[in-house]
Amino acid sequence: MRWFLPGAGFLLLLGLGACRSRTTRPTQPVVPVNLSLIAVGDILMHQDVKHAADLAPNGFQALWTDLAPLFQAADLAFGNLETPVAPTTGRPGVPFQFNAPESLPSALRASGFTVLATANTHAFDQGAKGVLETLDRLRAEQLVALGSGEDRPRAEALQIIKRQGLQIAFLGFTDIFNLDLNRRATEPWVRPLNLEPALQAVREARKRADLVIVSLHWGNEYQHLPTKRQRDIARSLVFAGCDVILGHHPHVLQPVEILETDGRKALVAYSLGNFISNQDRMYRADLFSVEGGDNRDGAALKVRFERTRTGDGQERMVLAEASVEPLWTENNWGAPSSRRKIQVIRVLPAEARVRAELDRLSDPVEGPKTLPDATIRRRTILERQEYLRTLLLRRKRITEVVGEGFVR
């Protein structure tokens, strides 16, 4: 989706006889500046996710290798880190109380992530010490943590990242805690979503930055629509000066929409769903209704801003493009443990690969070359056709939820 500022041109002729020319000072051209952001949803450390990473030759990176080119090509790549990383001070993760191994931050950084939300329901899963260890491990990999800190002032400090000569401000909040250990302002803190302080923080950020991006952990789990309260909060934050809202927590996708105030367009992604998880592991398109796979749907939100000159002659960054690339988590649950595989893929390239494979297998010449055994070839064709049907079904589902205008 693109928006362009309308251009205008005119020619003014003075006099009906001899023509008199007038010299005007040309307007200085706007120096082209673009900034790109990729954002994904919940990075969940279920036991099977960690087990799949243990079995993969490249560890956690292998679980989302299909996405690395997107992350690495963007100026900024965001995800919601819904787990502490506290192998030293914490306990082993158990259901609903997560902990990640020490290898996770370096894998995220190597894959291209730059900014991670740490204000979420699982922030205190390993206690206050777990918050501190998580922050230490993320900083060691030069990953920016949003919404948590060694104390309240640092948890609530504005994070400003410089890219392309621009100042990009990030803020992080959580509306929900599984365990709220915020006690004293001098102790580890996770920033709650209180509207008035949040609005003031956005206003202050607007004064200091070219772009303001807010991470919000909010909403109702497993619901595809935001609440009225969420929509009201989103509008208030945009009016205060926010350019992008990156929502997470419901574990399913929710709509993406554009809000406009005073001629400025802002993007709101109410929920980016799960990025990596073991949820809906038993789903098969031929056995379950479409809702049975919703937790495995994901979205890579692509946003591009460009510098332009507004009607009043001022230069500023404006939302130039926003789109969603459908993601799907492959999960071979039920296979022998030695073959456990969980992997996030990009749906559209996967569709193209399967179609090409089916064309090759169905070709009277190439098919036998690829798989000489006719029985195995027929069975493989049926399996690949079913897989293609799954991909088409999930893409359709993702498009219906986030909005047709954003999925290409």
**Centroid of chain to Cα 44:** 14
In this predicted structure, the answer to whether residue 21 has a pLDDT above a threshold of 60 is no
Strand partners, 80: 42, 117
Other beta carbons less than 10 A from residue 7's beta carbon: 5
Identify the residue whose tokens are 């595809």.
Answer: 224
* Residue 77 in tokens: 């790549």
Q: Judge whether residue 20 has pLDDT over 80.
A: no
pLDDT tens for each residue of 22-79 = 444 455 666 779 999 999 999 999 999 999 999 999 999 999 999 999 999 999 999 9
262 pLDDT tier (thresholds 50, 70, 90): confident
Residue 123 in tokens: 């922030």
- Give Cα separations from 173 to 2, 42, 121, 245, 370 (angstroms): 29, 15, 11, 11, 53
Bridge partners (DSSP) of residue 317 are 307
Q: Which residues contact 283 (CB under 8 A, 6 or more apart)?
A: 292, 293, 296, 331
Given a contact cutoff of 8 angstroms between Cβ atoms, the answer to whether 341 and 335 are in contact is yes
CA angle 92, 295, 257 (to 5 degrees): 120
In tens, the pLDDT along 363-382 reads: 999 999 999 999 999 999 99
Residues in the chain, overall count: 408
The tokens describing 350, both together, are: 């996967």
What 130-136 contacts at long range (C-beta under 8 Å, 24+ apart), as own/partner pairs, is: 130/84, 130/86, 130/89, 130/90, 130/99, 131/84, 131/188, 131/190, 132/89, 132/188, 133/84, 133/85, 133/86, 133/87, 133/88, 133/89, 133/90, 134/84, 134/85, 134/86
Structure tokens at 31: 């120096």
Amino acid 309: pLDDT: 77
3-state secondary structure of 265: strand
Confidence bin at 94 (pLDDT 50/70/90): confident
The candidate with the shortest Cα–Cα distance to 211, out of 82, 317, 344, is 317
Calpha distance 352→355 (Å, rounded): 5
Tell me: the pLDDT tens digits for 158-210? 999 999 999 999 999 999 999 999 999 999 999 999 999 999 999 999 999 99
Who contacts 149 (Cβ-Cβ below 8 Å, separation ≥6)? 135, 155, 156, 157, 188, 189
In which residue are the tokens 């949820």 written? 279
Determine the Cα–Cα distance for residues 288 and 394; give it in Å rounded to an integer.
Answer: 13
Given a contact cutoff of 8 angstroms between Cβ atoms, the answer to whether 311 and 6 are in contact is: no
Beta strand 148-149 with 342-346 is unpaired
Domains of the chain: 34-331 (3.60.21.10)
**Percent of residues, the chain, with pLDDT higher than 70:** 92
pLDDT for res 96: 87
CB 53 within 8 A of CB 62: yes
Q: Which amino acid is at 117?
A: A
User: Worst-scoring range by mean pLDDT, 3-17, 302-316, 326-340?
Assistant: 3-17
pLDDT of residue 28: 62
Write down the pLDDT at residue 339.
84
Bridge partners (DSSP) listed for residue 346: 327
